[in-house]
Amino acid sequence: MLRMLKLLDDSELVKKLELIRYINEEGLLYIYARAVFIDGSVLYLREKLSLKGRRYSYHWVDSDGNLIARWDNAPHHRNIKTHPHHMHLPDGSIKESAEREGFKIVEYILANLRR
Sign of the dihedral through C-alpha 31, 106, 78, 51: negative
pLDDT digits (tens, 9 = 90+) for 15-34: 999 999 999 999 999 999 99
**For the chain, how many structural domains are there in total?**
1
The 14-25 sheet, strands edge to edge: 14-25, 28-37, 42-50, 53-61, 67-72, 86-88, 94-96
pTM, entire model:
0.92
For residue 25, what is the DSSP state?
Answer: E
Domain range for 76 is 2-114
pLDDT in tens, 18-76: 999 999 999 999 999 999 999 999 999 999 999 999 999 999 999 999 999 999 999 88
Local structure of 77: helix, strand or coil: coil
How many Cα atoms sit within 13 Å of 20 on the Cβ side? 10
In contact, 62 and 68? CB cutoff 8 Å: yes
